[in-house]
Chains A and B, each alone.
Chain A
């Protein structure tokens, strides 16, 4: 996206709209909404540094002392270090599989014409609409029979599978749009089929890979439903599931609770602040064209 002019918005394509300048009524409405969005997050962050007593007596102000012991309790005693590790492993593995398998399938579907290709593409596309959670009973039995219940693999596999429709959809479109003589030229030069895919085609769809990764990153990282069903053992819990155990255990200890909430929010918020435009575009990718 091109940088916007000093004042005045830009549309999706970066075209400057006619700037209207500084309208107090509009600013007031936007500021109130920004306050309603940010205040709860800021209060959460401040409370994480207070003692429970201070939270009750002075819920809105800055902490008297910026104490860090709440965080260390959450990180070690409440097993957040473990939950973080599990969430990281599951998310990273799922995204890698989605990108690898999705790019391979998108390449085949976007660059070659063959019997059943359109049908297969439609099958993947239908996955965008199918509510997979409604298949949780057979999925539970399947995971049990595969001896994957209560393992991180159960989560990695279901996230990878449910991320494929969006990956195939986005990547097929990108591969299809690449000029046709690119790979013919390489083929005449005698390049192997894998080499053409890996060295020539894949680097050209890198923007699409970023969109697919962001589109799946937040939903996978935040998912609560599948760990709830598949995971029993505490040391295998991902962050969202681990937090429910944590809240049950410390429900009177508000200082620890707020520290836990803050700690859980920090990685996503930090990543969002750095990559906000990618996040906004990636997460609305299904709903906004272009």
Chain B
């Protein structure tokens, strides 16, 4: 805006105020970021969408085949079974994370918002694992959960619960749930801090007014704090959804690219990665199928993000 005022005349060599001069400066400031973004983000994403309607041989592109890749993905063995299996696991991860991690986080945030002794220290401790790499977290817990030498089973046995000691990550019954809990251990501090900020943003007058009217502690939480927490909840639901459907590092590092044991931890990103770059044991690679999976995930993630954004904006208006 400020640049639109042409600078004072009488300075013969200053060409800033002129139209072309200003345009050149704008190009100079904008070009590096724009080029980098266009080449390494926009172009690959648009190409990925286009790739799904072509035939592929290895990494070589063949002719246009319409929606044939999607038909193969949805209707032919083994792709359709793998797709449903992986998608279902993403759903399980999302639901379990919401019910366990985010509910516990909300509880912790409500406690911290009361300003107990040591709040500052607890905040720092709870958030610590969020900074650790998922590779460290995955390997660390894989060692702890080792069926023979790991400390988890050792603890269970010494507590007289040897019936519960089992190969948590090696049993298809428990592997996905265990992995989701490891993930929750790493992430718990994040929703806690977001909820805490949301609760602390509730104006003191609202809480005081409710108390003066004789509302109980629970009534204040339920009828004053929760409704005003809606934006924070929406953001956490959205981020949990994105995280659950992009889940890759933890299953890859702990269970391998095939989502073992027996595909019990296979998720969409692993399936996509195997189709794009080949599976170690079977050598199966299919870029057509991989691109079709990418398009499906893309549509899912963008749709949900857009809905959440609209929802958030509407809420903000209501609150204002």
A contacts, CB < 8 Å to B: 4, 7-12, 15-23, 26-27, 29-30, 33-34, 36-38, 40-41, 43-44, 55-56, 59-60, 97, 100-102, 104-105, 107-109, 111-114, 120, 123-124, 127, 129-142, 157-158, 160-162, 164-165, 168, 180-181, 183-184, 187-188, 190, 192-193, 197, 218, 221-222, 224-225, 228-229, 239-240, 243-244, 247, 254, 257-258, 261, 264-265, 268-269, 272-273, 276, 279-280, 283-284, 287-290
Contacts and interface: CB of A to CB of B under 8 A. Distances in A.
Contact of B134 (A23, A44, A224, A289): A224
Name A's interface SS: helix
B297 A131 contact: yes
Chain B interface size, as a band, is 35 or more
A5 B44 CA distance: 51
Contacts of B132: 222, 265, 268-269
Nearest first, the 9 closest Cβ-Cβ pairs linking A and B are: A11-B200, A135-B44, A9-B115, A138-B47, A161-B40, A105-B33, A222-B133, A108-B29, A9-B119
A30 B301 CA distance: 35
A193 B111 CA distance: 52
Nearest to B61: A141
Contacts of B107: 29
Contacts, number: 297
B193 A288 contact: yes
A27 B194 contact: no
7 contacts: A29-B111, A30-B112, A101-B32, A113-B4, A130-B302, A134-B298, A288-B193
B287 interface: yes
Contacts of A20: 114-116
A224 B45 contact: no
Contacts of B193: 280, 284, 288
Interface string B267-305: 001001000110000000001001100100110011001
B130 interface: yes
A283 B130 contact: yes
Given A138-B48, A247-B139, A254-B143, A102 B33 contact: yes
B118 A30 contact: yes
Contacts of B252: 224, 228
A131 B298 contact: yes
Nearest to A4: B120
B201 A11 contact: yes
Contacts of B7: 187-188
Given A19-B115, A111-B3, A187-B7, A164 B33 contact: yes
B231 to A, nearest CB: 8
B41 A38 contact: no
Contacts of B45: 130, 132, 134-135, 138
Interface in B13-48: 14, 16, 22-23, 25-26, 28-30, 32-34, 36-37, 39-45, 47-48
Interface string B115-136: 1111110111111111111111
B302 to A, nearest CB: 6
A188 B90 CA distance: 59
Contacts of A268: 131-133
Contacts of B116: 9, 20-23, 26-27, 30
Contact of A168 (B33, B133, B253, B272): B33
